Amino acid sequence: MRILLVEDDPALSLGVASGLEREGWSVDVLGDGEQAQSEGLVGQYDLCILDLGLPRRDGMDVLRHWRSRGVRMPVMLLTARDELRDRVAGLDAGADDYLVKPFDLPELLARIRALKRRAEGRLEEVLKLGALQLDLTQRELTHDGERVALSPRELALTEMLMAKAGRVVPKDSIVTRLSSWEADFSENSVEVYVHRLRKRFCELGVVIRTVRGFGYVMELANQTEAAAGNT
Ligand code: CA
């Protein structure tokens, strides 16, 4: 998942950004309402965390502008003002949720996961493929109940593939989801990650099949054999 974080307090945005990255999400940070407004119109983000009090342009104005231009990404507002009228105005302006500062990082993460599930029309917290199970709340992958340790990026890629198990996940969408401005993440990097995951999953009876020129399919090894007519 790719997140746009708009927050002008450097200490806060640093803390939030590193928390989001530990979840395996890519984060781009902006500290200015004017810049955020134009980036939100062109950038491909799955979600935005938007502070209300911003230099150059207020968060509420930015949100109204996005919604008037058809930008539909879920927006979580951050507000220092615990006032009912701000919250109501924010929701009326098209925000999906809000948090009042100061907030705890785990609460922010849990709410973002909920927004993401809602946006994907997915309500269950667990993805399953054979004996493989990915708990989206705990960010934990298990096989037959045994924990499979993965890095946050490996886990993020596994989630993308498992969410569409049996169907193709385009390579360019993987690049988009796993990259951020800082990181030099290319199609070659995707291949490196897929190669690593393949090695991990091969003994678990799960295959990541390459669809040449397009992307990858995750499926059970016996499904691949059946497809190849080897059964
Ligand atoms: Ca602020």
Q: What is the CA(181)–ligand 1 centre distance, in A?
A: 22
Q: What is the CA(113)–ligand 1 centre distance, in A?
A: 23
SS3 at position 217: strand
Dihedral sign for Cα atoms in the order 14, 20, 24, 25: negative
Q: What is the CA(51)–ligand 1 centre distance, in A?
A: 6
Q: What is the CA(144)–ligand 1 centre distance, in A?
A: 46
- The model's pLDDT over 2-46, given as tens digits with 9 standing for 90+, comes to 999 999 999 999 999 999 998 889 999 999 999 999 999 998 899
Q: How confident is the model at residue 82 (pLDDT cuts 50, 70, 90)?
A: low
The mean-pLDDT minimum among 54-68, 86-100, 191-205 falls in 86-100
Dihedral sign for Cα atoms in the order 119, 124, 129, 133: positive
Q: What is the CA(6)–ligand 1 centre distance, in A?
A: 9
Q: What is the CA(24)–ligand 1 centre distance, in A?
A: 25
**How many angstroms separate the CA atoms of 217 and 155, rounded?**
16
Q: What is the CA(108)–ligand 1 centre distance, in A?
A: 17
Q: How confident is the model at residue 231 (pLDDT cuts 50, 70, 90)?
A: very low
**Using CB atoms within 10 A of its CB, is residue 66 exposed (0-12), middle (13-18) or buried (19+)?**
buried
Look up residue 224 and give its amino acid: T
- The model's pLDDT over 89-138, given as tens digits with 9 standing for 90+, comes to 888 899 999 998 888 888 898 889 889 888 877 666 789 999 999 988 77
Q: How confident is the model at residue 152 (pLDDT cuts 50, 70, 90)?
A: confident
- How high is the mean pLDDT of the chain? 89
- Pairing mode of beta strands 126-129, 132-135: antiparallel
Q: Please report which helix (H) or strand (E) contains residue 97, including its range.
A: strand 97-100
